Amino acid sequence: MEKRGGSGSEPMSSAARWKMLIVLLATMFMSLIGVSIVNVVLPAIQNTLGATESDIQWVLSGYALTFGVVLVAAGRAGDVFGRGVIFLTGLVIFTLASVMAGFAPDATSLNAARFIQGLGSGLLNPQVLGMIQQHFHGAERGRAYGALGTVVGFSVAIGPVLGGFLVQGLGENLGWRSTFLVNVPIGLLAILLAIRWLPRPLLHRSFTEPAATTQGRGNVKPKRPAVDLDPVGCLMLGLSILALMLPFVVARETPWAWWLLPGSMALLGAWILWEKSYKNRGREPMVDLELFKIRSFTLGNIIAGLYFMGVTSVWVLVAVYVQQGQGLSPLEAGLIGLPAALVSAWSSHMAGKYVVQLGRKLVIWGIISALAGLLTTMAVVELHAGGFLSIWWLLLTLSFIGLAQGAIISPNQALTLMDVPVANSGSAGGLMQTSQRIGTAVGIAVITAIFYATQHATGAWHTAMTVGFVAITVMVVLTLVVAIIDQRKGHEIADVLGH
């Protein structure tokens, strides 16, 4: 019989760990394909539901906002109550919301379903990183993150192609609805496997050290501390993240939203003071700020934020450029990014094998590959505009960016969380994913604004594409600088320890 691992239980056997990972990966596949598949079916949604441009914007933005706002609080809840029960709760919510989205009668109902999907995804995502961090160690942890990266790459690859295929084969109305309903059988299977294979107990009250002891008849018994979710801290950080992300999501139609940014910074400062005070009073804050004294954690979060601020916009610009600028169909637009995503899946698998040995060097080489992809893609766009090359050369140049995705995202997650105590892995994972979400929101808002402003000013899609890619390149160069600093600081610390 398998040993089941969890808080207060025996360590999991190797077979049990990998079964658990299957559940985590199946769920991540479902949630990620639910994101990537939507991008190519937005015109179909608009046509069949009579949705406005604002409605369509919220199909993407509503999911992103609720997802980003709940990440850290969800990670903290997993640390306290057990990652299994929070994961399962998020999985059920996401699956039910997929049903709601698939049968939505109008744009308002669809956007409500997308808000709920974002909530479910935000609950389950930090638990995936937390459970990998808790139950896998050393080189095995690297392979687990590599498997996660492979699933990320494959879901990104298959999403746009599947979306285009469904719309083309089933028609606009049934096609876009199927892109949500395809999550349902995956979600139901994942729920059944989660109940069977996740470590027991699913629900528990975790604690690290006895808060006090009580004497009684010659024996000493540990006194279990009360569960401490730090609700005020959760609310303050959630509102701060919402106020930070919202302007970048809605500012095109609601310019006054920019006034939320100073409020976000003030709330963030107040939250930091609250967390320090809360800990000084002997309580357990939602985020132990001591985490930021871990060099790899702090710099890894900066790398994640900067990289997502830049490279996430690549696929948005490519989709707009090849469809609106070059007249490709949604299916062709999905196919043009397919090699990149498949290469990403392969490089994630390989990176998982070597991340422990190579460390931050692996991330640095990945960033260099991304820069090569960006520069050669700009060259293809300009040469195509001059009539010298086919646009399908993008299949090759974007593959360098796919190679970078696999060598950067999962390895950076593994390296960033490597020195984080297991008791804080849920909230730490939530913080890291929040960095990614904020980077994505800010990057897409700024870079697409630059892209469209250039297109409107020049009337040339290729010029807009090149200028947009220059802005992305600046962000990737900054990412490279931080990664090199982290690599050099790591060597300095290693040298000190060696002596």
Residue 448 has pLDDT above 50, yes or no: yes
Decide if pLDDT at 499 tops 50: no
Q: Can you give the pLDDT at residue 226?
A: 54
Average pLDDT over residues 305-319: 87
Provide the token pair at 134. Answer: 């808790």
Task: Please give the residue that has the higher pLDDT: either 225 or 314.
Answer: 314
Query: Is residue 443 scored above 90 in pLDDT?
Result: no
Predicted pLDDT of residue 472:
95
Classify 288-494 by CATH class: mainly alpha
Q: Tens of pLDDT along 206-221? A: 544 433 333 444 444 4
pTM to 2 decimals?
A: 0.79
The answer to whether residue 337 scores a pLDDT higher than 90 is no
Q: Please tell me the predicted confidence (pLDDT) of residue 6.
A: 43
53's CB contacts (< 8 A; 6+ apart) are 46
* The pLDDT of residue 349 is above 70: yes
CATH 1.20.1250.20 residue ranges of the chain are 11-203, 288-494
Reported as a single tens digit per residue, the pLDDT across 374-391 is: 999 999 999 998 888 899
Query: Per residue in 449-476, pLDDT tens?
Result: 889 889 889 989 999 999 999 999 999 9
Confidence of residue 5 (pLDDT cuts 50, 70, 90): very low
Average pLDDT over residues 1-24: 69
* More confident position, 422 or 363: 363
Among residues of the chain, what percentage have pLDDT more than 70? 90
The larger pLDDT score, comparing residue 333 to residue 94, is at: 94
Window from 264-268, 312-316, 395-399 with minimum mean pLDDT:
312-316
- Per the rule left: phi > 0, alpha: psi between -120 and 50, beta: everything else, 64 is alpha
Q: Which of 45-59, 114-128, 483-497 has the highest mean pLDDT?
A: 114-128
Top-tier CATH class for 11-203: mainly alpha
Instruction: At 357, list the tokens.
Output: 């040995």
The average confidence (pLDDT) of the chain is: 83
Question: In this predicted model, which residue has the larger pLDDT, 187 or 157?
Answer: 187
In this prediction, residue 204 carries a pLDDT of: 64
Q: What is the mean pLDDT of residues 255-277?
A: 91
CA distances from 282 to 17, 76, 78, 234, 426 (A): 35, 17, 21, 17, 21
Task: Look at 33 and 102; give whichever has higher pLDDT.
Answer: 102
Q: Which is more confidently placed, 317 or 160?
A: 317
Confidence class for position 233, pLDDT limits 50, 70, 90 = confident
pLDDT attached to residue 470: 96
The whole-number pLDDT of residue 253 equals 72
Q: What angle do CA 397, 303, 30 make, to 5 degrees?
A: 70
Q: Which of 139-143, 239-243, 261-265 has the lowest mean pLDDT?
A: 139-143
Section 428-438 average pLDDT:
82
Q: How many angstroms separate the CA atoms of 204 and 78, rounded?
A: 10
Give the tokens for residue 396.
Answer: 């090759």
In this prediction, residue 31 carries a pLDDT of: 85
Residue 371: pLDDT band (50, 70, 90) is: very high
